[in-house]
Amino acid sequence: MAFEFGPSCIPLNAVGMVLNFAGNHLLHYIQTIHRRKVFFPMHKVQSISLMSNGEIVTTATCTNFSIECDASEAIRPSNAQT
């Protein structure tokens, strides 16, 4: 890519495109060759490491949240029966 831009800095959107492309290929490799699921709902991936023995180590944090409703302040629909 450096030959396209010469001595000037490579634009960030080009860098992001290459990283996205590499990440998609890495994910495809893990899913097809190793038959492992990497991404899970409500998880944020911190890092993916390919070990020298072929194992893949994924570090992720799980995001849990709950929605609590106070019944005294709840808005009742107009067609609700009392």
Question: Which tens digit of pLDDT belongs to each residue from 30-81?
Answer: 888 878 777 777 778 788 888 899 888 888 888 877 777 666 655 666 665 6
pLDDT (0 to 100) of residue 74: 57
Residues in the chain: 82
Answer whether residue 78 is part of any domain.
no
Domain region containing 27 = 2-73
| 29 has pLDDT over 80 | yes
Count of beta carbons in the 10 Å neighbourhood of residue 60: 15
Answer whether residue 79 is part of any domain.
no
**Domains in the chain: how many in total?**
1
| Radius of gyration for the chain, computed over Cα atoms and rounded to the nearest angstrom | 23
Helix, strand, or coil (residue 6): coil
Answer whether residue 82 is part of any domain.
no
pLDDT (0 to 100) of residue 14: 85
Answer whether residue 15 is part of any domain.
yes
In the 8-state DSSP scheme, what is residue 8? S
Count of beta carbons in the 10 Å neighbourhood of residue 26: 14
pLDDT (0 to 100) of residue 2: 62
pLDDT (0 to 100) of residue 11: 85
